[in-house]
Chains A and B, each alone.
Chain A
Amino acid sequence: MGHQQPVVDTSPKVSDEVRKTTCYMCACRCGINVHMKDGQVAYIEGNKDHPVNKGVLCAKGSAGIMQHNAPSRLKAPLKRVGPRGSGEYEEISWDEALDLAVSWLKPIREENPEKLAFFTGRDQSQSFTSFWAQNYGTPNYAAHGGFCSVNMAAAGIYTMGGAFWEFGQPDWDHTKLFMLFGVAEDHDSNPIKAGIGKIKARNARVVSVNPIRTGYNAVASDWVGITPGTDGLFIMALIHELMKAGRIDLNYLARFTNAPCLVNSDPTSPEHGLLLRDDNDKTLVIDRNTGTLTPFDKPGVRPDLAATYDQNGITHRPVFHLMAERYLDPCYAPDAVAERTGVPADRIRAIAAELARVAFDEEIALDREWTDFRGEKHAKMIGRPVSFHAMRGISAHSNGFQTCRALHVLQILLGTVEAPGGFRFKPPYPKPVEAHPKPHCGVTPGAPLDGPHLGFVRGPDDLALKPDGSPARIDKAFTWDNPMSAHGLMHMVISNAHAGDPYKIDTLFMYMANMSWNSSMNTSGVMEMLTDTDENGDYVIPKIIYSDAYSSEMVAYADLILPDTTYLERHDCISLLDRPICEADAAADAIRWPVVEPDRNVRGFQSVLVDLANRMQLPGFTNEDGSAKYQDYADYITNHERKPGIGPLAGWRTDPEGSGVGGTSSEGRGSPNPDQIQNYIDNGGFWSTHIPEDAQYYKPWNTAYQDWAVKLGLFDSPQPYLFQLYVEPMRRFQLAAEGHGTRQPPEHLRQQIIDKLDPLPIWYEDGPSNTQYPIRALTQRPMAMYHSWGSQNAWLRQLHGHNPLYVPTKLMRENNLTDGDWAKVTSPHGQITVPVMEMAALNENTVWTWNAIGKRKGAWALKDTAPEATRGFLLNHLIHELLPPKGDGLRWSNSDPITGQAAWFDLRVRMEKVQAPSESQPAIPPETSPVGTASGDLEWKTGK
């Protein structure tokens, strides 16, 4: 037939209304436009005005409609009626649920608040949940940072006042060379993708360092398929090359870092290794103009990187001397590290040369005058257009803290941090350790804790120890085992509570953490610990309260379930007091609000916490007359003041007396505004204010930035500081281990502290190598999934419905494997039997799989035939929270000895081909879910 075409309606009505809120399909926290039809969610797209995503949206965000409507959503509060783990529950009313919770929580608060362990997983309201826990009075609170990326965060804070992601970002508009180390692709996902897209559009070089060439690594100009756990050694070889060639930014190091600060170099001194300070506690340098000892911040000082200083017979050497001594050592030469890192020496030399070429020969300069904290004016902002980004890949090893430190030191040696084209902080960062709290653990029955739980230790005095020296916290954070555990150790809570070590608890209260599955090492062991009974037949962990929106694997193990809402049904604030969403050029925060009301008997967890606080009349939630301060979380968001004028949200505060930016403006500082949430809604769900141009770079030292930050309320006074190439607090722990001071480590930890808490970055092997387990095994996060959540999503699970073990060509051949075969994979702790698939773009001695795709039958409302539950699997079964016995009578933790970060990626295995089993092994028996299983087909259309 001849050509004919019908009339198509090219302008159909799109929606009745667009409601703008914040995504929660991962931790990226993009702005979204939720299109509504007939009161239902019809379509979700990115918000073009939003500072995080600027309109784009990933697969997870676009699939939000399937999460919001997932059959796995919990429907009502539940009380366990069968044995723990059976999944047998009865629905109860909210009043009954809250009364029950209070009947457990109130008595232990009066008696001993440490009997409550409250850990909040992938919580995006940590500023609030920690406030609740602090007012309850338990020392046992943290979120999931300890099993995620605390090494990256803590190394960044201690070294330079911030790390990557929410702390800062590459200067995408100016960088000419971008170097990326192991990244969880659901972390900061859209900004990284957009940034890579931007720099690739102008054909700038992207170098990726990762054993696996997927995702961002797949588009990198150059791929370094490094041996897992050796990134620190590789980075130190780069540092060696750059220092040896003098291709480092001496001017930057002298002015902005503690490289010129003087270190006591007398091994017999009780202050050996500490920095020389004056009576005002200021670190001292030699002024190259005068040759005299001078405080680092004195106007006109020209800090000398070379001169030493003798005082009372003790030689003090600048930090830079110690660095030269360490990193010029031939043990860091490319030839010396090539074999262990798996990176040829010529390649290392080429990368070092390219870093130097771009940083120094392609220097850029912005015509922006600025004044530094010493009062010196600079006509231009000099830029070194090399930038770096890294996350979990280098973080989740037992040498991760020092490796992350090494990466920060590399950036600083090149003078790129906070320089145009380099790495830039986002408000409220940069923020030195001194501006952070120390950890607190002072418990008083019936009263709040003596301060914030989590913080940054400056030395042994800040450890969370009881008077008898035993750990004050159930997770043993801030103890000699792992002194700098800034995010706590959520992964140790269940095993410690089960062991009654350091003490027994009464109630375990958790939120959004799938601890009986993918969020724990030793998954099967954890399931046993949660159900174990004592000689009286009582549960060893007596009571468990759990809050989640969905029927995760963890639900079956709770005694009381407090069902949460979906992210489209709740209030939230993405606060500057919490993990912020700012940009390098702007401060920003945001809200969630109920764009739809729940159709089930569920409540936002934060509002439930407010209710519990009110029922227990917790201080901080209670007025002097005993009445409640806040009715719910929205009320808290609006009216809570952390200190006068500073609340959870910085935008649209009211008080003209506040000194917020703009003088009489209401940004940052100001009194609560009853219409604040509506103001946010009217503005698209977020607030943002730009940093003045002359304050946008060199922030730690830039007077204009410091003054702006004070006005906005980020600080109460300017906080200029030096980058800490040498981290003195670490040296304080070493000194104690060497026998100095009154607070002393236990004998068995002395050597570990001396060896590992080196104040200059070192590299040591991540966990014991073992010839019986010669293969490294890793997981990665797919960009289209967020931990275990994606599998309940009908659209996302079609992208990653099962997870083969990817095996490099060499190992496939050695084991006579072809795609679709099955292999038994064995670690010192356990074994799994899983399907394999060949991958060539992979380190030849590394196997890997996607994280958290494997599911337990019965969970997430999936049918037992779901590929996630039949062919999917977890590597977690191979990883234990403790290392295998070494024969010294002790069990050492499988974590970083500095921060306690879970060392997921230290895993070593061996593999062999086996007959295909009927499904992946171990096959954990199905669990019963309170929501049952979903079935049938979907034909999704809201409007008809």
Chain B
Amino acid sequence: MTTLPTGTDRKLGLVIDLDTCVGCHACVISCKGWNTENYGAPLSDQDAYGDPSGTFLNRVHSYEVEPAEGAAQLIHFPKSCLHCDDAPCVTVCPTGASYKRTEDGIVLVNESDCMGCGLCAWACPYGARELDLAAGIMKKCTLCVDRIYNENLPEEDREPACVRTCPAGARHFGDFSDPESDVSRLVAERGGFDLMPEQGTKPVNKYLPPRPKDKLETEAPAALPAVATETTGFLSWLDKTLDRLPGGGAN
């Protein structure tokens, strides 16, 4: 079994805004593109032009929610490794391949030590790890560890591929150990929450909840009062109102 560090210097992770995610899958594919080309073994696809099944480090699920009152809602839910503080995928690893970095808290798989036993995927309550069938080793979100410090990239691009590409701006990256960081503030302001806290994994990634929906009738002003109900009355209102309009320079 593998030991977690007693603490990490920083807690890097993502805030995902469920109020804004439109479910476009941009993050899914950008992640696939970067990570098949970079860290470790490629993310393979089996029967790519038949009935395909491939390795993804990030997927978007969609759930319908039917509130007690009001219309049904659809929530898009992007899911990748949450880089837990108490990561069961690490402690379960028989070879030490899975580990949590002391400097930033990122959970990684050292592929050269991974034997593809799959225990970690079984231990992860989120289903965030995928065994690559071609390489026979476990793949997971690296938080783009090869981007966020990469001196070959312009500084503004040193963020995970999924965050850089998200068209709706629903994904945020930062250090949760710093209460003044953008991600910490977003979590504080918007009631960011842990996914399945009862599992005791202490996930670093946080989700922002969808805002209440379909409240217009209760929030909007009362129905508009009529100035007239038929054309003649309306035209008479119009004439009077036009007289009151400034002769010019209104704008």
Contacts and interface: CB of A to CB of B under 8 A. Distances in A.
B242 A799 contact: no
A619 interface: no
B191 to A, nearest CB: 13
Contacts of B64: 839-841
A878 interface: no
A65 B226 CA distance: 59
Contacts of B238: 246, 250, 305-306, 320, 324
A577 B42 CA distance: 43
Nearest to A247: B224
A624 interface: no
A933 B234 contact: no
A219 B23 CA distance: 9
Given A203-B211, A798-B45, A937-B48, A321 B241 contact: no
Contact of B25 (A783, A842, A863): A783
Interface string B232-251: 00110111011001111111
B110 interface: yes
A794 B50 CA distance: 9
B126 interface: no
Nearest to A35: B37
Contacts of B3: 1-3
Interface residues of B, number: 108
Given A289-B247, A783-B22, A865 B51 contact: yes
Contacts of A943: 37
Most chain B beta-carbon contacts within 10 A, residue among A200, A254, A861: A200
Interface stretch (A56-64, A516-524, A647-655): A56-64
Most chain A beta-carbon contacts within 10 A, residue among B21, B37, B149, B225: B37
A784 B48 CA distance: 17
Contacts of A381: 251
A353 B222 contact: yes
A942 B37 contact: yes
Question: Interface size class for chain A?
Answer: 35 or more
B71 A797 contact: no
Contacts of A794: 45, 48-49, 52, 54
Contacts of A606: none
A800 to B, nearest CB: 9
B72 to A, nearest CB: 4
A796 B25 CA distance: 9
A798 B54 contact: yes
A346 interface: yes
Interface in A379-437: 379-382
A42 B36 CA distance: 10
A349 B220 CA distance: 9
Interface in B182-210: 210
Contact of A63 (B33, B170, B234): B33
B122 interface: no
Interface in B53-81: 53-54, 56, 64, 66, 71-76
Interface string B17-39: 00111111110111011101110
Interface stretch (A83-91, A115-123, A188-196): A188-196
A935 B50 contact: yes
Given A59-B29, A861-B49, A218 B99 contact: no
Interface string B130-150: 000111000000000110111
Interface in A897-922: none
Nearest to A13: B152
A16 B143 CA distance: 23
Contacts of B222: 353
A368 to B, nearest CB: 11
B28 A799 contact: yes
Most chain A beta-carbon contacts within 10 A, residue among B34, B156, B242, B249: B242
A934 B149 contact: no
A469 B80 CA distance: 64
B2 interface: yes
A306 B235 contact: yes
B36 A223 contact: no
A905 B30 CA distance: 33
Interface stretch (A43-51, A137-145, A446-454, A496-504): A43-51
B242 A250 contact: yes
A302 B248 contact: yes
A376 B250 CA distance: 11
B204 to A, nearest CB: 17
B181 interface: no
A223 B49 contact: no
Interface string A171-191: 000000000000001000110
A60 B167 CA distance: 12
Contacts of B151: 11
A632 B56 CA distance: 42
B227 A795 contact: no
A354 interface: yes
Nearest to A377: B249
Interface stretch (A237-245, A610-618, A727-735, A741-749): A237-245
A357 to B, nearest CB: 5
A569 interface: no
A3 B153 CA distance: 30
B71 to A, nearest CB: 6
Interface in B1-22: 1-6, 19-22
B224 A221 contact: no
B117 to A, nearest CB: 16
A1 B100 CA distance: 13
A941 B37 contact: yes
A841 B73 contact: yes
A867 interface: yes
A218 B221 contact: no
B217 interface: yes
Interface in A70-111: 71
A937 B47 contact: yes
A925 interface: no
Contacts of B227: 244-246
B71 A223 contact: yes
Given A382-B251, A935-B49, A941-B36, A223 B214 contact: yes
Contacts of B167: 53, 56-58, 189-190, 193-194, 197
Contacts of B30: 45, 57, 59, 62
Given A6-B110, A940-B37, A11 B74 contact: no
A308 to B, nearest CB: 10
A351 interface: yes
A1 B90 CA distance: 11
Contacts of A933: 49
Contacts of B145: 8, 10
B19 A219 contact: yes
Contacts of B4: 3
Given A63-B29, A222-B213, A245-B225, A215 B23 contact: yes
Contacts of B56: 798
Interface string A928-944: 00000111111111110
Most chain B beta-carbon contacts within 10 A, residue among A221, A796, A839: A221
B108 interface: yes
Nearest to B226: A244
A218 B76 contact: yes
Nearest to A64: B33
Nearest to A53: B167
A274 interface: no
A321 B224 contact: no
B213 A223 contact: yes
9 contacts: A200-B20, A213-B74, A223-B73, A244-B228, A246-B238, A328-B229, A792-B49, A798-B52, A939-B135
Interface of B: 1-6, 19-26, 28-30, 32-34, 36-38, 41-54, 56, 64, 66, 71-76, 96, 99-102, 108, 110, 112-113, 133-135, 145-146, 148-153, 156, 161, 164-170, 210-211, 213-217, 220-231, 234-235, 237-239, 241-242, 245-251
Given A197-B170, A796-B29, 11 more contacts: A5-B108, A6-B99, A62-B33, A215-B23, A221-B214, A245-B224, A254-B242, A354-B221, A934-B49, A937-B47, A941-B37
